[in-house]
Amino acid sequence: METDVLLESPRRRKCGQQSHLCLPECNNNSYSLRNLASWRELCRSWESEDKSSVIITDQNGHLPLFCNRLEEVLLCRLKASRRSLFGVTKLEIWQLFLTLSKHCNSRHLSKFFDDITERIKRCNKLKTYQGRGRAFIRLALTKGLLANVVQTIADSTLVTSWYEPDSILLSHSVRQNLLDILNQVSDMTFDLTLANVSFLDESWIIPVQKLVQLPYSTDIGILVRHIDNRAVVVKIQPQSPASDTGIEPGDILDQVFGESLYMINSILRKYQDQSIPILIIKKNLSNGMPFDPITRRLDQIFKSDNLVVGQEIPKSKSQQIPDANGECCPLPSLDETPVQAPDDGNLFSVVYVGSTNMGNKGDKAYIEEGIKEVINQQKPDTPVSIELNEGYLTARSKSSNEPVLRFSYTEISSCGRLTYHPGLFAFIAGDTTCTISKNFTCHVFKAVSEEMAKALLGYLVEGFSRTCWSV
């Protein structure tokens, strides 16, 4: 389950910065044992009761603080880059963990390191090296092997090849204090929900995860908006299958049928007539406090002046429009308006080439096939004006001004163009909301220039990004 896209590389915090979760300047001259002492106090809070009766779960308030401080220690004085046969490589904790099995003397440990790194690499919910490194630390915690991880790094050539000379791990006394603390932690029992990793890329705090089972329906009554690659619930329709399930506005839809929500159009068709298992991430933690990564996304929704109910194709302004042949065209910048547009929309003068029925094929992979079929029909072209407003795409005949086509964004499933036919572009639309439609049609147009085709698709994508989609 390797991910297709790697999000931005984690920003390494400068060691000189101070915060209640961050260690001070990390070098042998300024790094004092009192910081480890405060960390030791944190561990003692877990030992206030008999060890045999204490089980540390994700709801333990000290756990994120402990993990964050350990991450800071491992990041501190990590070399920014490293030369190898393949050139200069930027170093991250996750890359360090990947090499552990080759540097440990224990066959048992070596197998453990290999097993958990493979498990993490297969998880498609972890998008960054930071998230993968954090998942590794949590797995090591549950197995009681955190001290072994640090000991393996310290006892091998890894410590000198990956860390600067004034690193904590190269100071014998400080390193020994660190290992003493980690050995204490290894004697504790951790019962962590290892599958709940969707927000490890952003936070050490683990949100509440809930599995909801819904009866099959073509409309389960959830309106969702995509914000920063997350499907945020914005409304639950009254009297719908989802209305009495405990799903609330602000919750995150994590997966459906165990599959990524980016493929929800085909997922609901694939599992037709089956009850629908939806894994959600709650907007509040178990203590009732809001979960910050979700709160930030809700703020974006509430600040939006253009919230439209419908079906969003999950793209953002910073993404690219895929060509049907696999190449990409960047979105136009906001000042690249190709024609004079009316105040209430964007107007483009193009030629309608024709349409062809695609059956149940609505994905972007079929754009090229649709364009080729329409070209082969060799029908007369129809000059039209395409208007894109807040909720609809409308194509009007130039001669009569009558609508030739009109689709809401809820019905359009994909769009794209061919690089070897510069002015040609197309979109595929269903006969109803595209999440449940079984009959799709590809509509093909020709712009006067490649730039106009790019711009029109850019405005279409922006329309999607201001729209909610219905499940």
SS3 category, 29: coil
Its pTM stands at: 0.62
Burial class (CB in 10 A: 0-12, 13-18, 19+), 102: exposed
Instruction: Check pLDDT > 70 for residue 161.
Output: yes
Read off the pLDDT of each residue in 185-192 and give the average, rounded to a whole number.
Answer: 88
Q: Which residues pair with 403 in a beta bridge?
A: 396
Residue 132: per-residue pLDDT:
94
Length of the chain: 471
Burial class (CB in 10 A: 0-12, 13-18, 19+), 5: exposed
Alpha-carbon gap, residue 264 to 33, rounded angstroms? 52
209-303, which class in CATH? Answer: mainly beta
Read off the pLDDT of each residue in 38-62 and give the average, rounded to a whole number.
Answer: 68
Q: Is there a contact between 307 and 300 (Cβ–Cβ < 8 Å)?
A: no
Residue pLDDT, tens place only, 52-70:
557 889 988 888 988 988 8
Alpha-carbon gap, residue 113 to 413, rounded angstroms? 42
Residue 186: per-residue pLDDT:
84
The alpha carbon dihedral of 167, 171, 177, 179 has a sign of positive
Read off the pLDDT of each residue in 90-115 and give the average, rounded to a whole number.
Answer: 84
| Residue 88: count of CB within 10 angstroms of its CB | 9
pLDDT-derived band at 330 (thresholds 50, 70, 90) equals: very low
182 is written with which tokens?
Answer: 């980690």
The number of angstroms, rounded, from the C-alpha of 23 to the middle of its chain's C-alpha atoms is 29
Q: Enumerate residues 6+ apart whose C-beta is below 8 A from 30.
A: 24
Residue pLDDT, tens place only, 345-355:
468 899 999 99
Tokens 């190898």 map to which residue?
84
Read off the pLDDT of each residue in 185-190 and give the average, rounded to a whole number.
Answer: 86
What are the extents of the domains in the chain? 33-190, 209-303, 320-470
pLDDT-derived band at 261 (thresholds 50, 70, 90) equals: low
Please report, to the nearest 10 degrees, the dihedral formed by the alpha carbons of residues 418, 420, 424, 429 taken in order: -20
Residue 338: per-residue pLDDT:
31
Alpha-carbon gap, residue 256 to 140, rounded angstroms? 29
Q: Enumerate residues 6+ apart whose C-beta is below 8 A from 323.
A: 329, 416, 417, 418, 419
What are the angstrom distances between the C-alpha of 421 and each of 175, 417, 452? Answer: 63, 8, 13
Residue 353: per-residue pLDDT:
95
Residue 243: per-residue pLDDT:
86
Instruction: Check pLDDT > 50 for residue 21.
Output: no
What is the percentage of the chain residues whose pLDDT exceeds 70? 71
Alpha-carbon gap, residue 223 to 232, rounded angstroms? 8
Please report, to the nearest 10 degrees, the dihedral formed by the alpha carbons of residues 272, 276, 282, 286 taken in order: -170
Residue 5: per-residue pLDDT:
23
Instruction: Check pLDDT > 50 for residue 25.
Output: no
CATH of domain 33-190: 1.20.58.900
Residue 318: per-residue pLDDT:
31
Burial class (CB in 10 A: 0-12, 13-18, 19+), 157: exposed
Residue 334: per-residue pLDDT:
25
Read off the pLDDT of each residue in 175-181 and give the average, rounded to a whole number.
Answer: 85
pLDDT-derived band at 185 (thresholds 50, 70, 90) equals: confident
Alpha-carbon gap, residue 140 to 37, rounded angstroms? 22
Q: From 3.40.1160.10, 2.30.29.30, 2.60.40.10, 3.40.50.970, which CATH number describes the 320-470 domain?
A: 2.30.29.30
Instruction: Check pLDDT > 50 for residue 271.
Output: yes
Instruction: Check pLDDT > 50 for residue 257.
Output: yes
Residue 84: per-residue pLDDT:
54
Residue 42: per-residue pLDDT:
61
Identity of the amino acid at 444: V
Q: Is there a contact between 441 and 429 (Cβ–Cβ < 8 Å)?
A: yes
Residue pLDDT, tens place only, 448-460:
988 888 888 888 8
Whole-number CA gyration radius for the chain: 27
Alpha-carbon gap, residue 441 to 412, rounded angstroms? 10
